[in-house]
């Protein structure tokens, strides 16, 4: 089993909203928001540690003008039905819309090649992934269950206080919803409403007959933390009552170790193919100068986690940095 000490942290500096996917080709693939928010990059390596050194390739760039011209956020790379897809959010401008929120919508790219790093020419735009509401929406992820493909994302509902809630829908293909959105959670607890009322950044993990969705809550400062939902894998995933919501955060700042605002996570497996790994970003200071949006120092971290007797994940707390401990085993 991998232990905390086997992984160097931070793993990758200056990458927020980290997403790692281990493919059948044996490579770990990594993508994330880049600090300039102007492109989508992919890198790959045979080990998690190798991702820190893997040469990135740009696979898509923001448009000069229009709805996909600013703030390219939170890309995820998925392999669905034999093809590669990237889900991401983009905005028409840096500024807020009439509702005071960012103006992101969700988009999908697909790759004509089985090699997702084949280059920009290999990636084609599939357009906006449209939902029932034309509002601020972002952080899409997808997962398959019993041959059904589901889409989970964050979106503003003008009738609900706050920036965004989480929704699920079934898909008819990897870039089109088949059903109406079903709301899974909205910001309601104190830990979800600090600074801003936010539920965003969903990530899905299936374990022992259950499906878990973790997500991030509150403002993206030291208040940022992770909540969790759980459903029986055999239940109707589009029925809100199938989902149980935790009333407390499952992962949050570790003040003693100066690990602030962990969140926007994804999941992967360690090289042993067994150990579950939590992937998230975190800051190591709270004294941000200038616009926090353009402070690049949210760093990608990884750490193993375990499952408790009830079959629920135990994420522990954000591990300290260990890059100055020279005896790290690889």
List the structure tokens of 83: 């093809």
What residues between 47 and 66 interact with a second copy by CB under 8 A?
47, 50, 52-56, 58, 61
Contacts by residues 251-255 (CB-CB < 8 Å, ≥ 24 positions apart): 251/214, 251/225, 251/226, 251/278, 251/280, 251/315, 251/316, 251/317, 251/318, 252/191, 252/225, 252/226, 252/317, 253/222, 253/223, 253/224, 253/225, 253/318, 254/317, 254/318, 254/319, 254/320, 255/222
Closest CA to 313 of 229, 197, 225: 229
Rule CB under 8 A: say whether 23 interacts with a second copy.
no
Residue with smaller CB distance to a second copy, 44 or 230: 44
Rule CB under 8 A: say whether 275 interacts with a second copy.
no
CA–CA separation, 56 vs 53, rounded Å? 9
- What 3-state DSSP class applies to 61? strand
Rule CB under 8 A: say whether 6 interacts with a second copy.
no
Q: Tokens 């996570």 map to which residue?
A: 265
Binder among 11, 32, 108, 142 for a second copy (CB under 8 A) = 11
Rule CB under 8 A: say whether 299 interacts with a second copy.
yes
CA–CA separation, 180 vs 202, rounded Å? 18
Task: Report, in this order, helix, strand and coil percent for the chain, each rounded to 5.
Answer: 5, 45, 45
In whole angstroms, the minimum distance from the beta carbon of 6 to a second copy comes to: 12
Residue with smaller CB distance to a second copy, 158 or 290: 290
Contact by Cβ (8 Å): 42, 65: no
The one catalytic residue among 17, 41, 49, 76: 17
Residue with smaller CB distance to a second copy, 10 or 263: 10
Q: Is 17 a catalytic residue?
A: yes
Rule CB under 8 A: say whether 14 interacts with a second copy.
yes
Tell me, by CB under 8 A, how many residues bind a second copy: 37
Q: Is 208 a catalytic residue?
A: no
DSSP 319: P
Closest CA to 261 of 288, 296, 298, 313: 298
Rule CB under 8 A: say whether 323 interacts with a second copy.
yes
Rule CB under 8 A: say whether 227 interacts with a second copy.
no
The one catalytic residue among 139, 200, 271, 276: 200
Residue with smaller CB distance to a second copy, 55 or 159: 55
Residue with smaller CB distance to a second copy, 307 or 323: 323
CA-based end-to-end distance of the chain: 13
Give the angle 250-234-302 at the CA atoms, nearest 5°. Answer: 30
In whole angstroms, the minimum distance from the beta carbon of 284 to a second copy comes to: 5
> What does the per-residue mask of binding to a second copy show for 98-137, with x meaning CB under 8 A?
---------------------xx-----------------
In whole angstroms, the minimum distance from the beta carbon of 14 to a second copy comes to: 7
DSSP 96: -
In whole angstroms, the minimum distance from the beta carbon of 270 to a second copy comes to: 13
Closest CA to 35 of 57, 17, 8: 17
> What does the per-residue mask of binding to a second copy show for 175-204, with x meaning CB under 8 A?
------------------------------
List the structure tokens of 263: 């969140």
Near a second copy by CB under 8 A, which window of 106-114, 127-135, 201-209, 289-297?
A: 289-297
The footprint of a second copy (CB under 8 A) covers 8-11, 13-14, 35-36, 43, 45-47, 50, 52-56, 58, 61, 119-120, 284, 287, 289-290, 295-297, 299, 321, 323-324, 326-328, 330
User: Catalytic residues, which ones?
Assistant: 17, 200
């Amino acid at each position: 089993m991998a232990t905390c000490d086997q992984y160097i942290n931070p793993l990758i500096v200056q990458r927020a909203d980290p997403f790692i996917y281990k493919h059948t080709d044996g490579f770990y693939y990594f993508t994330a928001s880049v600090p300039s928010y102007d492109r989508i990059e992919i890198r790959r390596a045979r080990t998690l540690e190798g991702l820190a050194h893997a040469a990135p390739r740009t696979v898509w760039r923001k448009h000069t003008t229009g709805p996909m011209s600013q703030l390219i956020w939170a890309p995820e790379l998925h392999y669905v039905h034999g093809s590669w897809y990237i889900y991401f959010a983009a905005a028409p401008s840096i500024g807020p819309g009439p509702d005071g929120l960012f103006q992101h919508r969700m988009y999908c790219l697909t790759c004509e090649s089985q090699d997702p790093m084949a280059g920009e020419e290999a990636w084609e735009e599939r357009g906006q992934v449209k939902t029932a509401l034309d509002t601020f929406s972002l952080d899409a992820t997808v997962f398959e269950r019993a041959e059904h493909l589901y889409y989970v994302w964050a979106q503003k509902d003008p009738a609900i206080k706050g920036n965004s809630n989480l929704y699920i829908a079934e898909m008819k293909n990897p870039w089109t919803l088949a059903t109406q959105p079903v709301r899974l959670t909205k910001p309601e607890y104190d830990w979800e409403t600090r600074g801003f009322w936010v539920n965003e950044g969903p990530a899905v993990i299936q374990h022992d007959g259950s499906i878990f969705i973790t997500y991030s809550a509150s403002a993206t400062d030291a208040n940022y933390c992770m909540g969790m939902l759980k459903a029986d894998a055999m239940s109707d995933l589009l029925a809100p009552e199938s989902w149980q919501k935790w009333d407390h955060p499952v992962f949050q700042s570790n003040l003693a170790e100066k690990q602030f605002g962990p969140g926007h996570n994804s999941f992967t497996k360690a090289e042993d193919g067994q150990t579950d790994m939590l992937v998230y970003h975190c800051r190591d200071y709270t004294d941000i100068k200038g616009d926090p949006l353009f402070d690049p120092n949210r760093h990608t971290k990884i750490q193993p986690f375990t499952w408790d007797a009830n079959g629920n994940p135990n994420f522990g707390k954000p591990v300290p940095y260990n890059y100055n401990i020279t005896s790290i085993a690889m």
